[in-house]
Amino acid sequence: MDDLLEEIGKGFLRGIGYILAEIFFGMICYWVGWPICKIVTLGKYPSSTEVVYLDEYRTRDSGFWCSVVGLLVLVLLALYLMGGAL
């Protein structure tokens, strides 16, 4: 019985972690990276018809790359604010 509850607990925590990762990477990182991609590419990437909402970023490369750029910016910002290697 303890093994069953342990497996249910692991699955629940894994599901919560997945949801938090989706929200962080798919939404927060995307919306941080989107304006940076627009500025760097002078408005050509991503095009206005490629605005990605919620879970659609997986199906389009622009959403993924905007999220990656946003993640890099957030990591560099965190390192700078902590007085890290920058």
Q: What pLDDT was estimated at residue 45?
A: 75
Instruction: Read off the pLDDT of residues 27-76 as tens digits, 9 standing for 90 and up.
Output: 899 899 989 988 888 877 776 555 555 555 454 566 788 889 999 999 99
What global pTM score does this model have? 0.65
Q: Please, which contacts does 35-41 make with residues 24 or more away whose CB atoms are closer than 8 Å?
A: 36/69, 36/70, 36/73, 37/62, 37/65, 37/66, 37/69
Instruction: Read off the pLDDT of residues 8-28 as tens digits, 9 standing for 90 and up.
Output: 888 888 888 888 888 888 889
